[in-house]
Amino acid sequence: MNLSELLNQGVTALSAALGSREVSAVEIATAYLDRIEQAQPELNAFITVDREHTLRDATLADSMRAASPGQSLAGIPIAQKDVFCAKGWRTTAGSHMLENFIAPYDSAVVQQLNKQGFVTLGRANMDEFAMGSSNENSYFGPVKNPWDLSRVPGGSSGGSAAAVAAGLAPAATGTDTGGSIRQPAAWCGISGIKPTYGRVSRFGMIAYASSLDQAGIFARSAQDLAILMDVISGHDPRDATSVDRKDAPCAKELDKDIRGLRVGIPKQWFGEGLSAGVKIVVESAIQELVMMGCECVEIDLPMSEQAIPAYYVIAPAEASSNLSRFDGVRFGHRAAQYKDLAELYERSRGEGFGPEVKRRILMGSYVLSHGYYDAYYLQAQRVRRLIANDFERAFMLCDVIAGPVAPTTAFPLGSFGADPVQMYLADLYTIPVNLAGLPALSIPAGFDAGMPVGLQLIGPWWQEARLLQTAHAFQIATDWHTKRPALYSGLKP
Ligand code: GLN
């Protein structure tokens, strides 16, 4: 296999090539950095690229391998969403507020990856503080969709998804608070997983809505997702919501037979709101699962239509509290001119945050204020419980749930500038999963008018292995996950 072919393969192929000494970590990193340089002016998938830092990591990975050949992942490159603190790397969360913040320590996810010798290729672009569905809210400019540069890649982890789809990285990290891994994975035609809440430590991950945020992975296949999930999972006492469990590694169980698996089809998710083109693709993917020996059962998720209103109370409420630390004193941008402390806060926050972030802080402060707390926040928490109950009942009838990721394919840049609520509505199939804390993934399932469509698989708590088995079996039977955007097939090498 020549270098160019190798770069288009995933983690598994790279690991084999590194293991047989066909290629070094430095050669692989250099080649991806060259690709990033070619694509960056157009795609804008990265906020920060630091060639020297990356090559230092790669040199270290090569010596790790030389010292202990058992390090099977050392030298695999990865793009990091710019929300994970990484020592010595500028960590902006897509915000002017943190434009000059160099993280003094590693987040848990970065630490786990570094321990295995992964090489950071750069810091992936994202919506400011992970708020958005299109990556248009980044202070560093929008990311383009590699399948069609006039369209968005999805958000908020749009840079991570675009980088993997365009062949600029074999894998990337992401975070998913209401769909920010699954939706950009679907819209860029790659695989992405959001684990069970509590499976991956949130330590060092810049918080948006702490009771919903989960770190996860983008890659080219379910097999690669499984390998990376095993690296980043695990208990961490530094995150009070991290759960101490000893689950079998996902990668070990990947080949388990899925015949007889009961696949739940939510009857509310295929009606009004779902575009005809996406519906056809998702339904034929489900037919494929049936042909592979799965059994379909209809399930009822009556409360899921309340998920968006509940989420847009809970997430902004938590965000308004989390983002209060960015005041120009302890963290973040400080205004150049102010006459007293109050004005220092006002100006620093006024200048540092973008419009969507301000909107959410306002909404969050409002729903938490005295007199409105009971009417909005408490009520939203009740709805959240009912949504989780729906899923719990559904999982008595089925083993996994299958459905769409998003109601449409990627929309043109600038579609919702004037109407953010329209954009919020696009998260209707992903948000219920975060409210319930469940694991879910998106895998490529076909195309609608040339744009990729994802299939969402949702599992019971802690059943990532089952989800990945199902996705892996689907990818053995189909080749959607191997399709690459023509625009980026000519990158060198
Ligand atoms: N689009 C949703 C929001 O704007 C979800 C974002 C996310 O998952 N980080 O809040």
Span 379-407, pLDDT tens digits: 999 999 999 999 999 999 999 999 999 99
CATH number (domain holding residue 81): 3.90.1300.10
Q: What is the reported pLDDT for 248?
A: 87
Question: What's the mean pLDDT in 28-42?
Answer: 98
Token pair 């840049």 is found at: 413
For the CA of 177, the closest atom of ligand 1 is: 8
Dist. CA 156 → ligand 1 center (Å): 6
Q: What is the DSSP string of 104-140?
A: SS--HHHHHHHHTT-EEEEEE--SGGG--SSSTT-TT
Q: Is 81 a catalytic residue?
A: yes
SS3 444: strand
Residue 417 lies in a domain: no
What is the Cβ-side half-sphere exposure of residue 476, based on CA atoms within 13 angstroms?
Answer: 14
Q: What is the CA radius of gyration of the chain?
A: 21
Here the tokens at position 358 are: 């301000």
> Does 130 sit in the ligand 1 pocket, CB within 6 Å?
yes
Mean of pLDDT values over 94-116: 98
Find out whether the beta carbon of 133 lies less than 6 Å from any atom of ligand 1: yes
Weakest-pLDDT range from 220-234, 244-258, 350-364, 469-483: 244-258
Quickly state the pLDDT bin for 418 (edges 50, 70, 90). Answer: confident
Residue 70 carries which side chain, given as an amino acid letter? Answer: G
Residue 331 in this model has a pLDDT that exceeds 90: no
H-assigned helices in 128-271? 158-165, 182-188, 222-232
State which ligand 1 atom lies nearest to the alpha carbon of 179.
8
Give the tens place of pLDDT for each residue, 7-21: 999 999 999 999 999
- Give the Cα separation of 430 and 182 in Å (integer): 8
Ligand 1 near 128 CB (within 6 A):
no
Question: For residue range 204-214, what is the model confidence (pLDDT) as tens digits?
Answer: 999 999 999 99
- Give me the pLDDT at residue 70, please: 87
Q: What is the pLDDT of residue 437?
A: 98
Q: Compute the distance between CA of residue 371 and CA of residue 493 in angstroms, rounded to an integer.
A: 61
Indicate whether 358 belongs to any domain.
no
Distance CA 292, CA 373 (A): 49
Per-residue confidence (pLDDT) for residue 417, from 0 to 100:
82
Is the CB of 94 inside a 6 Å radius of any atom of ligand 1?
Answer: no
Q: Does the annotation mark 180 as catalytic?
A: yes
- Cα of 27 vs centre of ligand 1, distance in Å, is 36
Q: Does 1 score more than 90 pLDDT?
A: no
User: Which of 129, 177, 211, 212 is the pocket-test mutation for ligand 1 (most atoms within 8 Å of CB)?
Assistant: 177
Nearest Cα to Cα of residue 75 among 27, 112, 37, 108: 27
298-302, 329-333, 391-395: the lowest-pLDDT one: 329-333
Give the rounded distance of the alpha carbon of 180 from its chain centre: 5
The CA–CA distances, whole Å, from 273 to 57, 408, 454, 456 equal 46, 9, 16, 16
What pLDDT score was predicted for residue 405? 98
List pLDDT tens digits, range 419-466. Answer: 889 899 999 999 999 999 999 999 999 999 999 999 999 999 999 999
Q: Is the CB of 179 under 6 A from ligand 1?
A: yes
One-letter amino acid of 198: G
**Residue 193 CA neighbour count, 13 Å, CB half:** 35
| Structural domain of 238 | 3-252+464-488
Domain count, the chain: 1
Q: Read off the pLDDT of residues 140-192 as tens digits, 9 standing for 90 and up.
A: 999 999 999 999 999 999 999 999 999 999 999 999 999 999 999 999 999 99
Catalytic residue, chosen from 24, 133, 134, 156, is 156
User: 455 CA to middle of ligand 1, Å?
Assistant: 19
Whole-angstrom distance, CA of residue 154 vs CA of residue 454: 12
- In a domain, residue 322? The reply is no
Q: How far apart are CA 20 and CA 419, in angstroms?
A: 53
Q: What is the pTM of this model?
A: 0.98
In a domain, 38, yes or no: yes
DSSP annotation of 399: S
Q: Give domain status of residue 39, yes or no.
A: yes
Residue to probe by mutation, ligand 1, list 427, 434, 442, 456, most atoms within 8 Å of CB? 427
> Is it true that the peptide bond before 493 is cis, omega within 30 degrees of 0?
yes
Residue having the nearest C-alpha atom to atom 5 of ligand 1: 178
C-beta atoms surrounding 40 within 10 Å: 16
Q: Which strand ranges, in their side-by-side order, compose the sheet holding 46-48? A: 46-48, 119-124, 77-81, 171-176, 214-219, 191-194, 440-448, 451-458, 400-404, 262-266, 295-299
Q: Which residue has the tokens 């690709």?
A: 35
pLDDT above 90 coverage of the chain, percent? 96
Angle at 174 between CA 172 and CA 180, to 5 degrees: 130
CA distance 307 to 313: 10
> In terms of DSSP H, where are the helices of 149-301?
158-165, 182-188, 222-232, 276-291
Cβ distance 79 to 188 under 8 Å? no
- For residue 382, the tally of other CB atoms under 10 A from its CB is 11
Q: How far is the CA of 397 from the centre of ligand 1 (A)?
A: 29
| Residue 233, in any domain of the structure | yes
Nearest to 173 by CA among 91, 82, 92: 82
Annotated catalytic residue within 81, 194, 221, 304: 81
Long-range contacts of 249-257 (CB under 8 A, 24+ apart): 250/225, 250/226, 250/464, 250/465, 250/468, 251/223, 251/226, 251/227, 253/465, 253/468, 253/469, 254/222, 254/223, 254/226, 254/465, 254/468, 254/469, 254/472, 255/469, 255/472, 256/465, 256/469
Q: Is residue 408 part of a domain?
A: no
pLDDT digit string, tens, across residues 344-390? 999 999 999 999 999 999 999 999 999 999 999 999 999 999 999 99
pLDDT, position 145: 98
Q: What's the gap in Å between 99 CA and the centre of ligand 1?
A: 21
Tokens representing 259 are 């015949």
| Residue 366 · residue 372 · CB < 8 Å | yes
- In this model, does residue 247 exceed pLDDT 90? no
| Residue 156 is among the residues annotated as catalytic for this protein | yes
User: Which ligand 1 atom is nearest residue 181's CA?
Assistant: 8
CA distance linking residue 49 with residue 58, whole number of Å: 14
Which tokens sit at 166?
């365009």
Q: Position of tokens 């208990």?
A: 235
Nearest alpha carbon, ligand 1 atom 4? 132
In a domain, 176, yes or no: yes
427: CB partners within 8 A, 6+ apart: 133, 178, 179, 183, 308, 311, 406
pLDDT of residue 50: 98
- Residues of the chain with pLDDT > 70, as a percent, come to 100
Query: pLDDT-based confidence at 264, cuts 50/70/90?
Result: very high
Compute the distance from residue 253 Cα to the ligand 1 centre, in Å: 31
Q: How far apart are the C-alpha atoms of 161 and 420, rounded to whole Å? A: 22
